Amino acid sequence: MTISIQRSHNDEAQTYNVELENVTLLTVLNHIKTSLDPTLTYSHGCRSGVCGSCAVQVNGREQLMCEYKPSDGDEVEPIRNARVIRDLVVDSSMVERCNRAGMGWSESSKADHVSAEKMERIETQSDCILCVSCYSACPVYAANPDFIGPFALTRVWRYVNDPRESDIESKMATVQTNGIWDCTLCGACVPVCPQSIAPMQDIKMLRMKSGMLGYPDPTMNFGGSFDLGGWDF
């Protein structure tokens, strides 16, 4: 099997020929690093899809290397929207930056007892492994590098929607800027999530919550000039 991997030292794709079948991409890279080319650089950890270290792009789509089975001719590149440090390793500071910007944490909590049904409301969102595949797939970053973005907004919704949370005001105020209204609802973040989370859906939920709390919807533009195509009469 031949796979090509984008290298940073010469900014070119390097081709490797490996005789491994029916293994994960991570197994292939481990084989290359320990037997063929020790300079090939990538991140990995748990091997089982839960630590979020090994997201890359394969043929232009985000994949976890430990869950993806490569086939002949695959092209592997680092994830997008992030500074490449070396080969497939990128600067991961967006994890801290975006989660801080969105205030993705519990402010204060009440009530020990909560029904199973209510708790399940945040089950999917709290499955997030911060692999940042959604961040890589998001087209908004081309226009707004300060966008709080899909994984952090999912995290905000996870706390806003937590039945135990007693203070959601500050979070809802925070996500008004560079947050829920900057999303184009294109949905690119949804299919790439290895945990089947749908950040776009969570952003929609935050928008609804925002409306309920009386925040204006800037995408509606009522009261301002009609600048939406087709309504300009």
**Closer CB to another protein, residue 96 or residue 232?**
96
Q: In the 8-state DSSP scheme, what is residue 30?
A: H
What is the helix, strand, coil percentage profile of the chain, to 5?
Answer: 30, 15, 55
| CB of residue 185 to another protein, shortest distance in Å | 26
Could you tell me the two tokens for 101? 């910007």
What residues from 65 to 104 belong to the interface with another protein (CB under 8 A)? 67, 69, 85-86, 89, 92, 95-96, 99-100, 103-104
DSSP 90-117: E--HHHHHHHHHHT-S-S-B--S---HH
Q: In the 8-state DSSP scheme, what is residue 48?
A: S
Using rule CB under 8 A, residue 136 touches another protein: no
Could you tell me the two tokens for 79? 């994830």
Using rule CB under 8 A, residue 109 touches another protein: yes
Stretch that binds another protein, among 71-79, 113-121, 183-191, 210-218 (CB under 8 A): 113-121
**Closer CB to another protein, residue 86 or residue 181?**
86
Using rule CB under 8 A, residue 119 touches another protein: yes
**Closer CB to another protein, residue 57 or residue 99?**
99
| CB of residue 31 to another protein, shortest distance in Å | 10
Could you tell me the two tokens for 17? 């020929």
83 membership: H or E segment, kind and range: none
